[in-house]
Amino acid sequence: MTPPADPARYKNHRFPGEIISHGVWLYYRFPLSYRDVQELLFERGIDVTHEAIRQWCRKFGQDYANQLKHRRVQPGDKAGPAKSEAQ
């Protein structure tokens, strides 16, 4: 899910931090272009240019990429519920 938006971090931007963080999260989480993110946001009633999304990704993107990288399942990790041993 989208990381929480820190209000101070997004000060002096036209859009609220929740919108910026969601747009950046979409770009880094899924294989989308800036225009794809623009269309997804437009479907939710948010009219933003692909250039604004590019600037957001350039300014805030590295933090999101690092967070997603740390959350990614690594080889050898156990997925799903742990199996209990038979008694």
CA distance 66 to 30: 14
CA distance 57 to 24: 5
pLDDT at residue 22 in the model: 93
pLDDT at residue 73 in the model: 64
Q: Note whether residue 86 is domain-resident.
A: no
Domain count of the fold of the chain: 1
Q: Note whether residue 10 is domain-resident.
A: no
Of how many residues is the chain composed?
A: 87
Inter-CA distances, 7 with 10, 11, 19, 36, 59, Å:
6, 6, 12, 26, 15
Q: Note whether residue 52 is domain-resident.
A: yes
Q: Note whether residue 28 is domain-resident.
A: yes
Q: Note whether residue 81 is domain-resident.
A: no
Q: Note whether residue 46 is domain-resident.
A: yes
Q: What is the mean pLDDT of each run of 10 residues along the chain (87 residues)?
A: 66 90 91 97 97 94 75 64 54
Q: Note whether residue 80 is domain-resident.
A: no
pLDDT at residue 26 in the model: 93
CA distance 31 to 72: 15
